Amino acid sequence: MQRSKTTVNNLIYIALAILAIGIYFLVDGLQMFKNDYYVSHDMLSALNENISHVPDSEYNSLKYHIASLINLTVILFPVTFAGLRFHISFKKTQDSDKTDVRWLISIARPVLGLLAFYYILTLGTVFSHEIFTDFYALNSWYGYLRIFLAFLVLSASVIDWPRFIKAIKNMPQAHPLIAKTLFVFGISVISCCLLEFQTGSKMNVMSTMLLFNIMYWLLLQILIDLVSPSVRIGAGVSLILAFVIGLVNDVVYQFRGNYVLFGDITVVKTALEVAGGYVYKPGVWFFISLALLIISFALVIFLRFPDEQGRSKKGIKPKEILIRAVAVELLIGGIIVSFSTGLLYNYIFGIGWDYNENIKNAGYIPYFLSNMSSINSVECEGYTPEAASLAIEDALRDEETGDNDSYVMPNIIIIQNEAFSDLAVAYDIETDQDYMPFIHSLTENTLKGYLNMSITGGPTANTEFEVLTQTSLQFLPYGSVPYTQYTNHEIPTVATMLESQDIPYHTVAYHSYYSSGYKREGVYSYFGFDEARFEDSFLTDYPESDMIRHILSDEADYRVVEEMFEDYRTVSSDPWFCFNVTIQGHGGYTEDMTFEDPVTVTNFDAAQSINTYLSLIKISDTAFMHLTEYFEKVDEPTVIIMYGDHQPSFDDEASEDLSAHPADHETGDQSLYSYYVPYVIWANYDIPEEDFMGQSASDGIYNTLSTNYLVSYALGAAGMRLPDYDRYLLRLHETVPAVTAIGVWDSNGDYYPDAARSSEADLLKGLEYVQYNRIFDKENILFAHYLLN
């Protein structure tokens, strides 16, 4: 009878708690439904701009309203219920008089609590006329925390603490199922915090995704609990895993400027090889997460559930084992189905150029899972080999054909210079000397400007892929690494095109670092290179004078290129092509270095790593000067194409300094300027001359060339005979001068976040067909269009 009465009382208090939360919504939250302004529409708009292929209707305001209400109900219900269920008695006992101090305190506590409740919700402005001013910032973890804190203070002011503490102590014994449910859910919330505190969101995720981010840890614990004797095991695994994943992302973000996505897992070995030059600097969020981990783990260790202790002595019955096995299978099956359909991550697709922002909005795990799904299933709607061929033929149908059959077949050197960039493009930087004096001085037989990139901070191999395959990451899932994920068969590239010339080129790939990076050795074979050279033993094969920061300098790298050219000339006079990937400028600029002629920022007190980076750029500029001086004396036509693979990734101190001094650009999103790097096309014979770079970044002209066009543009200017595909790209370049993973620019300079939304969507759809044929449809590759004769 007593148990029945307790159950009825609990149900009454549950109803009262729901009613209290409902009243709060009516007072304040109802305004959400009356005015869409309060739905954080700026974030919603940004999300729809950055994530492709998701109908706008999927992110309507009603969905955000409902998600906000659900999230707040989950957050507010425990404290509201506790305040109502374990409230102090406001009745005076018969033996007390009107001056009983304890009775007066029991009255004063809720009054003060109510004032504090109102004070917190009005952001500390007691006389505010806009009640609960900041309720509508529900896409902010701060907003949730503030509202929860207000209700917590109110509940704390009316709780009979001795009775409440006694109930908590007795709960594991009296109500083990409820106790374990609350324990598992609490650990899930803490695990979510441990991860998100160390990534971009800091728990600042969208309303629609907050419970999703908690759900993953809940599922993990349930799965472990079904196969283990104690919920504490699942809790421990959840806490440690969440902290480690968060820490890894914090470290990688410091090194590279991006978080870890599914594609990065395939290049772990490469990342470890280059990690030696970096120094991790833990920030405040690391220490907050570490403290939370220690406190939570102490709770897990010392907390005991009596029913589990009894079961461990008696053992688990066969019937229970069977039930648990079936539950595990059903849970795993449900996870697989919900993952494959997109339910597991709320249809947030892992495609978008600024995935750091997407991770901030959606949370890390949902975006990681969606990215994994999209990477593993690259499809092209409407594609057929005939459609791809028709796109090329239509573009060339009205092409003017000249009678000039005299083509140049120069030696070609393409240099992808590690992290070579001009920081003044994105930041207001003044230095005590020009850090690219030679490149700025080049005018004769030179084309130069700024190249639109698909990446910033890395990975290097993605720019390699775009340049050599002459394709764009615009049509691939963002976060993918094609070298390690899609390159498992022969793909037409610049190398195979040059080998189809009237006199086949001898093609060489040279990387002045380990062969294991991004599986380059196998990739270069699939790309059709005649030979590939790496420096797996550079530490013992080269003197210290050839090293900068314990890696091969650009000067030493280019000397190897010259030696390889000379060696080949002893056996053949055929034209020679070398694709060279340097290493000197690789990240890790915090190491103390002494330069003979250092570059120093003068307009603000810059972190040392910024000055180190700019000094390295000047050394690269000098090395490039020496390379051109060498080939200027070579009595054969030679073209050198040099560009940076991406802008650098800096440590936190340098990043803060730079972000505080953005370049003053009149147009465009400031973040887009992190995706420009210099390019130089130089020849030792007459070629057209064009300078889109100027003597300073402020003189530069942007959005004129992207990596997929670079080789066609350079070889066309060099006077070479080009196959259909390169001529097709040059025709397309006239209309759409830049196509990258972060968007496209048309000939009017207008920017579109993806090809489908651009003014030239139909033309770019044809490009997508051609690219899909070139990379994925190995049974129907259009060699007749890609190669000469």
Which tens digit of pLDDT belongs to each residue from 548-588? 988 999 999 999 999 999 999 999 999 999 999 999 988 78
pLDDT for 120 equals: 79
Nearest to 122 by CA among 148, 142, 150: 150
At 434, give phi and psi (nearest 5°). -70, 130
DSSP per-residue string spanning 201-232: TTT---HHHHHHHHHHHHHHHHHHHHHSS-HH
| Long-range CB contacts (within 8 A, 24+) of 220-228 | 221/184, 221/187, 221/188, 222/184, 222/331, 223/328, 223/331, 223/332, 225/184, 226/324, 226/327, 226/328, 226/331, 227/324, 227/328
pLDDT for 40 equals: 41
> CA-CA distance, 658 to 663, in Å (whole number)?
9
At 508, give phi and psi (nearest 5°). -130, 135
Beta bridge partners of 642: 415, 680
- Phi-psi sector, 723: left (phi>0), alpha (psi -120 to 50), beta: beta
Q: Which residue has the tokens 């908590």?
A: 168
pTM for this prediction: 0.70
Please report which helix (H) or strand (E) contains residue 482, including its range.
helix 482-485
Tell me the residue length of the chain: 789
Q: What does the DSSP 8-state code read for residue 57?
A: G
Nearest to 463 by CA among 679, 697, 773, 726: 679
pLDDT (tens digit, 9 = 90+) per residue, 118-146? Answer: 887 776 655 554 444 444 444 566 677 77
Nearest to 745 by CA among 760, 731, 730: 760
pLDDT for 378 equals: 80
- Burial status of residue 531 (CB atoms within 10 A of its CB: 0-12, 13-18, 19 or more): middle
pLDDT for 39 equals: 41
Q: Which residue has the tokens 């899909």?
A: 772
pLDDT for 266 equals: 58
Beta bridge partners of 533: 510
> CA-CA distance, 516 to 524, in Å (whole number)?
12
Preceding amide of 459 cis, omega within 30? yes
pLDDT class for 450, splitting at 50, 70, 90? very high
Please say if the pLDDT value at position 29 is more than 70.
Answer: no
Residue 681, helix vs strand vs coil: strand
Residues 6+ apart with CB under 8 A from 650: 257, 587, 589, 607, 609, 610, 613, 658
Nearest to 508 by CA among 576, 448, 408: 576
Residues 622-637, mean pLDDT to the nearest whole number: 96
34/475: higher pLDDT: 475
What is the identity of the amino acid at 642? M
pLDDT for 51 equals: 37
